[in-house]
Amino acid sequence: MNVRHTRAVFPGSFDPITNGHLDILDRALKVFDEVIVAILVNSEKQALFSVAERVEIIRAACRSRRRVRVDTFSGLLVDYAVKAGASVIVRGLRAISDFEYEFQMALMNRRLDPSIETVFMMPAESYSYLSSRMVKEVFRLGGDVGALVPPVVEKRLRERAAALRSPLPATRPRLPRRRKR
Ligand code: PNS
């Protein structure tokens, strides 16, 4: 019997992961046997959370999802997919505004490696406006993001905000003690 095991890559910046991403991930898990959430290591992009923090956060958010793996990648996505043994790239498509960029990326990836198929999935309507950028902005301006991100992300955002509010006291350089006269 030929048992096919389909592994998909769900790539992105995930800075931070949102409930919209998790919605897509759950849809992908209905179709594919295993999904790798692959975080792009991009030194050019100014991120709120480091790649190591994002790995930790996503692992915590996906603890109950058994067929999910979290990994990082740099370089071409199709090269990573081949190396990881994945034949599918999953991307979420929220609105028409996403379409052009996603279309270009999917066609470029197909040109680079025709053996990798891109599959688009639509999130629940309630997440169609949601993005990591908006979550960060709403949180920064004091809005409630509790329904938009998993609890671990809200906790990390609060911790990050608290750390920024109370930076560690600057250590004073020690001056040489003056000799008593
Ligand atoms: O969450 P994002 O930022 O929309 O994810 C974009 C991502 C990581 C999927 C995309 O930037 C990517 O695949 N980068 C890797 C470089 C690559 O393969 N480029 C060629 C295809 S355009």
CA distances from 1 to 4, 5 (A): 10, 13
Q: Please give the distance of CA 40 from its chain centroid, rounded to a whole number.
A: 8
Distance set, CA 60 to CA 71, 82, 111, 133, 175 (Å): 13, 26, 35, 21, 46
| pLDDT per position as a tens digit, 68-105 | 999 999 999 999 999 999 999 999 999 888 999 999 99
Q: How far does Cα 38 stand from its chain's mean position? A: 7
118 within 8 A of 9, measured Cβ to Cβ: no
The verdict on the CB of residue 105 being under 6 Å from ligand 1 is yes
Report which ligand 1 atom has the smallest distance to the Cα of 38: 8
Question: Residue 113: helix, strand or coil by DSSP?
Answer: coil
Position 32 pLDDT exceeds 90 = yes
The SS3 call for residue 70 is: strand
Alpha-carbon dihedral sign for residues 22, 24, 25, 27: positive
**Residue that wins the pLDDT comparison between 177 and 114:** 114
Structure-block tokens of residue 129: 């406006």
Q: Is 80 exceeded by the pLDDT of residue 167? A: no
Q: How far does residue 154's CA lie from ligand 1's centre (Å)?
A: 25
From the candidates 4, 30, 45, 179, which is the catalytic residue? 45
For 110-120, write each residue's pLDDT tens digit: 999 999 999 99
State yes or no: pLDDT of 148 exceeds 90. yes
